[in-house]
Amino acid sequence: MTDYLVTIGLEVHAQILTSSKMFCGCSADYADAAPNTHVCPTCLGLPGALPVINRRAIEHAISTGLALGSRIQHDTIISRKNYFYADLPSGYQRSQYDDPLCVGGWVELDDASGPRRIGLTRVHIEEDTGKLIHGDDGASYVDFNRAGVPLMEIVSEPQIASPDEARRYFQKLRQILVWIGVSTGDMERGALRCDANISLRPAGQREFGAKVEIKNMNSFRALERALQYEIERQTAVLRAGMRVRQETRGWDEARGVTDAQRTKEGSADYRYFPDPDIPPLRVDDTVIAECSARLPELPDARRARFAAIAGVSAMDAETLAADRGRADYFEATAAACEASGATPRDAAVWITGELLRLLNDTGEDLASAARRLPPTAIAELVQLLGSGAITRTTAKEVFELAFRSGAAPRVIVEERGLAVIGAGDVLARLAREALAGNPKAVAEYRGGKLTAIKFLIGQVMKATKGQASPQAVQAALEAELQRLDA
Ligand code: ZN
Ligand code: MN
């Protein structure tokens, strides 16, 4: 049977995080607002209303281009993309066609064989449309609060080879956008959306097969599932000797299928032309340099830096650099640990272990938990453990208590009497009790079965609730056994 090569390209739309809309002063924070309360003549497309470009939106798009390795174009043009739809009051979307703001660039993925770059065609700016609401009464309504909210469209080259790779590309892109602060990345609220182009061709054929565009995928999983479905559908069509139709299809999450929506219009159908209301935009080197200077260290660089820390594995580094808040928290904790004589590795162990487990259990985010458990608290705990003041078992208990209550580890240890029970009267008494209560194990031990001591250690450990070290317990037991022999 013929094998088919899969070619995928993604178009990601990201709302740019600004306080006002792309071409007017209306608030872009529309999510919880009553319908049609964030509107003005400009974003309603009323005749005579003139647009003014939002400087912050341009700066954010430039920062995005810089983070993705794109070339920033000095002269860029806002065009009108003409089409008729109820959510588009002016009959055109302000977008870019010729001369987009950013050209080229890449998103780097980690493959088993090493890093792999997916090329970008362009990053351009445009405005979002309004939103149709289909009422229970059978009527449809339109809310223009979203109309005119700034968007970036990030277009990949057709270089993605599988649904899994498409998902990883989209995840990586989201990580970067959120990391540099240009988008919330909130997919549930529609701030980040993805369309995919996919075509199949027989192995060995040079020309691409018919391109199908899939819309309406609202999660990473939906993207992967929709592409998988399309591969199976198109393979079946081709194997039956038929042709795949070039069309737009929508992903139906509930049914797990794509449905034909409309045959794809060529770009000429949109009759793009430069918006006569907006003069060509000139971006000078100073603006680009400012954006570049404001750009934080990017996730890959930070992850590599973490992986180079002694005792921090590549997997831990990835976990610690998953988002900027977590990376900052780790670095602050590592610094506090070092200041008290511990190592950055100690910080990594507690954050990737206990902290993430507790956050996962409680569903809380790190920013909120960090108000109760600041980096210095972890350093304090590490120090208590390192100095032998508490055992590892106790340390885990104290960590959770500190996480839940916000009390300092040192205070928890004092108030609850959790300090290590060292060699001394208490341990000697507990050892005597264990020997007296377990004559069979004692007899076995005396008979030469040395492993019987393990059982006795366990009994004493239980009595101390884990507050003694096994070594101290063994020493106390051996001392008591010798005393009995004497
Ligand atoms: Zn407006
Ligand atoms: Mn678009």
For residue 94, which ligand has an atom nearest its CA?
2
Whole-number Å distance, alpha carbon 154 to ligand 1 midpoint, is 24
Ligand lying closest to the C-alpha of residue 40: 1
Count of residues in the chain: 486
At residue 171, the pLDDT reads: 97
Distance 154 CA to ligand 2 centre (A): 9
Measured in Å, residue 26 CA sits from the centre of ligand 1 at 4
| CA of 7 relative to ligand 2 center, distance in Å | 21
Question: Residue 482: pLDDT band by 50, 70, 90 thresholds?
Answer: confident
Of 133-137, 332-336, 466-470, the range with the lowest mean pLDDT is: 466-470
Q: Any idea where the domains of the chain sit in the sequence?
A: 4-291, 297-416, 425-485
Ligand nearest to the CA of 89: 1
CA of 448 relative to ligand 2 center, distance in Å: 80
**Euclidean distance between CA atoms 438 and 457, whole angstroms:** 11
Q: What is the pLDDT of residue 466?
A: 82
- Which ligand has an atom closest to residue 193 CA? 2
Residue type, 225: R
Cα–ligand 2 centroid distance for 153 (angstroms): 6
pLDDT averaged over every residue in the chain: 94
| Ligand lying nearest the CA atom of residue 52 | 1
What is the 76 CA–ligand 1 centroid distance (Å)? 23
Q: What is the pLDDT of residue 166?
A: 98
| d(CA 51, ligand 2 centre) in Å | 19
pLDDT at 112: 85
* Ligand 2 ion: residues within 5 Å (CB): 153
Q: How confident is the model at residue 100 (pLDDT cuts 50, 70, 90)?
A: very high
> 191-235, pLDDT tens digit by residue?
999 999 999 999 888 899 999 999 989 899 999 999 999 999 999
166-176 burial, b at 16+ Cβ within 10 Å, e below that, comes to bbbbbebbbbb
Domain 425-485 CATH class label: mainly alpha
Ligand 1 centroid–CA 120 distance in Å is: 31
Decide: 151 and 100 in contact? Cβ < 8 Å.
no
Contacts 24+ apart (CB under 8 A), 106-112: 106/68, 106/69, 107/68, 107/156, 107/169, 107/172, 107/173, 107/176, 108/172, 108/300, 109/165, 109/168, 109/169, 109/172
142 CA → ligand 1 middle, Å: 15
pLDDT attached to residue 265:
54
Tell me the pLDDT tens digit for each residue of 403-444: 999 999 999 999 988 888 876 788 889 999 999 999 999 999
Distance 224 CA to ligand 1 centre (A): 36
Q: What is the 261 CA–ligand 2 centroid distance (Å)? A: 17
pLDDT of 264 reads: 54
**How far is ligand 1, taken at its centre, from the CA of residue 102, in Å?**
26
> What pLDDT does 266 receive?
57
Name the region of 466 (left: φ>0; alpha: ψ -120 to 50; beta: rest).
left
Distance 100 CA to ligand 1 centre (A): 23
CA of 280 to the centre of ligand 2 (A): 19
Confidence of residue 54 (pLDDT cuts 50, 70, 90): very high
- pLDDT of 394 higher than 60: yes
Query: Looking at residue 216, what is its pLDDT?
Result: 82
Pairwise CA distance, residues 366 & 368, whole Å? 5
The rounded Å distance from CA 21 to ligand 1 centre is: 7
Q: 275 CA to middle of ligand 1, Å?
A: 17
User: Which ligand has the minimum distance to the alpha carbon of residue 45?
Assistant: 1
How large a percentage of the chain has pLDDT more than 70? 98
Q: Which ligand is nearest to the CA of 37?
A: 1
- Ligand closest in space to the Cα of 49: 1
| pTM score, whole prediction | 0.87
Ligand nearest to the CA of 128: 2
Closest ligand to residue 50's CA: 1
Tens-digit pLDDT profile for residues 257-270 = 999 987 655 556 89
**Is a pLDDT exceeding 90 seen at residue 160?**
yes
What's the CA gap between 192 and 295, in Å, rounded?
Answer: 21
Q: What are phi and psi of 158, to 5 degrees?
A: -75, 75
Predicted pLDDT of residue 440: 92
